[in-house]
Amino acid sequence: MSIHMKFDQQSTEIILRNFEMEAPGEPLSEEEIFELLSNRIAYMIEHKIDFLLSLLYRMDVLEHKINFALSPNCPEPANIALAKLVMERQRARISTKENIDVSDIEGLEDELKW
For the chain, the residue count is: 114
For the chain, counts of helices (H) and of strands (E): 5, 0
Contact 81, 74 (CB under 8 A): yes
CA-based radius of gyration for the chain: 15
The whole model's pTM is what?
0.78
pLDDT in tens, 21-32: 987 778 888 899
Residue 84 lies in a domain: yes
Residue 52 lies in a domain: yes
Number of domains comprising the chain? 1
By residue range, what is the domain housing residue 37?
31-97
Residue 26 lies in a domain: no
Residue 65 lies in a domain: yes
pLDDT in tens, 55-91: 999 999 999 999 999 999 999 999 999 999 999 998 8
Residue 20 lies in a domain: no
What is the pLDDT confidence band of residue 1, given thresholds at 50, 70 and 90?
very low
Residue type, 102: V
